[in-house]
Amino acid sequence: MWYLCVFYHRLLDYRKPEVESLAQLFGAIEDPQNDDVPFQLQWKLPPHYHTDSPFHFVNLPSEQLAHNIATRSILVKGMYELWGEGSSYEELKESVLSYPDERKLPYLDSDSTFKITVDCFGKVISLEEQKELIQGLSYIPFKGRVKLRNPDHNFWLIEVDNYGGNNGLPPIVQKRIFFGREVGGADRKLIPTYQLKSRNYLGPTAMDAEMAFLMANQALATSGKLVYDPFVGTGSILVAAAHFGAMTMGADIDIRVVRDGRGPNCNVWSNFKQYGLPMPVGLLRADNNLPPWRPTLKEVFDAIICDPPYGVRAGGRKSGGRKLLKGAVEPYTVPDDKRTDHIPSTAPYSLVECVHDLLDLAAKMLVMGGRLVFFYPVLREDDFAETHFPEHPCFKLISSSEQILSSRYSRVLLTMVKTGPYTEEIAEVARIKHMEFKENHVKWLEDGNLHSAVFSPADAHVTEAADPKLIKDPKPKYRGKYV
């Protein structure tokens, strides 16, 4: 059945991948790990609508599935069984009256309570106008009682104005009016509850709460699954996964983060305690370049979710120190009396090496069908459509969702599913693919110098000579793409 799916107008590239991931989580489809083409739901737009519109139709096999997706999603505002639509209220009336009675009457009986909400996109409607519009629905034979809090049935009258493209919204040819029954709606208290400004323990690279929940949804985090973050930091991603019931485990190379924090009541553990979430299974001081797992340990985690250090807000580090890596000094053993307070030496860890190690770790430690979800940086001088993402023979890329952060830099959320077992032969194929990736990609990836590529002028001579008015960042076409 086709449902009207109304999105929040933000993070536009992330909307459909999240819904499709949740559809798989709630059992709408079989596991796509053996398919050649990633699963995609059936989508269609209302007439004359832009693809960036918040309004889409999605075909789902059951109302229960639509409800489950809407209540868990971060970017879905609501799912609706559409009773009618039109470009005017006269057309809307004809459409609603022609909708089958057997679909409408069960929700109009005298024993039920209901509420009608008027919403709009692209304009503001006063309370008086809302009352008039609700009274204009008198042709619908409501027999139940009106109840504004927790009614049995919620009905929505949604008007989309033909506002053009002057206010940062995607244009439409003519206005559209929808009327339908709410099947499921988003939990609007979720993000304010977990927002970073109220978090007990934060670091400079803490993941935004909305994005952390999106990543957890892409990874299919749910009760009974074990989720791992090899760059855990202050635990923002694991907090989101734990909210959905997953068991969590994290690691970080900085022992001061995972062990000490800012004291006994201000650390990673206290973030979980703050929200009443289950504590992580464990937090390790571990190096992604030298993972602590024994060689025979494989297929432990259901999902790996992380934000690798790619050198904009923080650079990556690995064990060893510059002198040790250059062979100037020999490896040393930490004395027993220094083990409790020793801070190991570290050296720079380029993104190209970090990504290779991450894919290798995931290939070994993820179960079959497990998901790897991580951010990957992109310089916008390159064509995004031709961007070459990291590859591994054990994985299939499910989705790549871009978030534009500046005129020169964006990050892409990559979601991969494990489709094949890890073997020594596969490891060698992966090594060759990695070398090709390293040779063919842009130089900042190998040098780990993304920070200067993002924040330095593209051409110093041109910048000095040019008129400052001409080098300002262009205004975004739609504000939702830049959020």
Query: Does position 124 have pLDDT exceeding 90, yes or no?
Result: no
Q: 7 and 75 in contact (C-beta within 8 Å)?
A: yes
Chain segment 433-468, per-residue pLDDT in tens: 888 777 766 555 555 566 666 666 554 444 444 454
pLDDT tier at 470, thresholds 50, 70, 90: very low
Report which of residues 413 and 477 the model is more confident about: 413
Mean pLDDT along residues 147-159: 94
Mean pLDDT along residues 206-214: 95
Query: Does position 116 have pLDDT exceeding 90, yes or no?
Result: yes
Out of 5-19, 47-61, 74-88, 378-392, pick the least confident: 378-392
The pTM score is 0.88
Report which of residues 378 and 468 the model is more confident about: 378
Mean confidence (pLDDT) of the chain: 85
Instruction: State residue 2's pLDDT score.
Output: 95
Q: 145 and 179 in contact (C-beta within 8 Å)?
A: no
DSSP 391-451: --TTEEEEEEEEEE-SSSEEEEEEEEEE-S---HHHHHHHHHHHHHHHHHS-HHHHHT-HH
CA–CA distance from 183 to each of 81, 143, 177, 288 (Å)?
A: 6, 20, 18, 44
Q: Where do the domains of the chain lie?
A: 2-187, 191-333+342-452
Top-level class of domain 191-333+342-452: alpha beta
- Do the two domains 2-187 and 191-333+342-452 of this chain adopt the same fold? no
Out of 107-121, 296-310, 384-398, pick the least confident: 384-398
Mean pLDDT along residues 305-320: 84
Instruction: State residue 188's pLDDT score.
Output: 84
Instruction: State residue 463's pLDDT score.
Output: 43
Share of the chain above pLDDT 70, in %: 83
Instruction: State residue 350's pLDDT score.
Output: 81
Instruction: State residue 312's pLDDT score.
Output: 76
Sign of CA dihedral 61, 67, 68, 72: positive
Share of the chain above pLDDT 90, in %: 56
Query: Does position 415 have pLDDT exceeding 60, yes or no?
Result: yes
Mean pLDDT along residues 43-63: 90
Specify the DSSP element, H or E, that contains 213. Answer: helix 209-218
Query: Does position 379 have pLDDT exceeding 60, yes or no?
Result: yes
Instruction: State residue 167's pLDDT score.
Output: 55
Chain segment 172-189, per-residue pLDDT in tens: 767 889 999 999 999 889
Report the range out of 146-150, 326-330, 466-470 with the highest average pLDDT.
146-150
Query: Does position 195 have pLDDT exceeding 90, yes or no?
Result: yes
Instruction: State residue 337's pLDDT score.
Output: 82
Tokens of 18: 């999240």
Query: Does position 12 have pLDDT exceeding 70, yes or no?
Result: yes
Chain segment 55-67, per-residue pLDDT in tens: 999 999 999 999 9
Query: Does position 102 have pLDDT exceeding 80, yes or no?
Result: yes
What distance in Å separates the CA atoms of residue 342 and residue 336, rounded to the nearest whole number? Answer: 10
CATH architecture of 2-187: 2-Layer Sandwich (3.30)
Residue 347: which residues within 8 A CB-CB, separation 6 or more? Answer: 317, 318, 319, 320, 321, 322, 324, 325
Tokens of 262: 């800012």
Chain segment 256-286, per-residue pLDDT in tens: 888 888 988 899 999 999 999 999 999 999 9
Mean pLDDT along residues 379-390: 68
Mean pLDDT along residues 7-16: 93
Tokens 């504590």 sit on residue: 279
Chain segment 232-249, per-residue pLDDT in tens: 999 999 999 999 999 999
What distance in Å separates the CA atoms of residue 24 and residue 85, rounded to the nearest whole number? Answer: 29
Question: Count of residues for the chain?
Answer: 483
What distance in Å separates the CA atoms of residue 27 and residue 20, rounded to the nearest whole number? Answer: 11
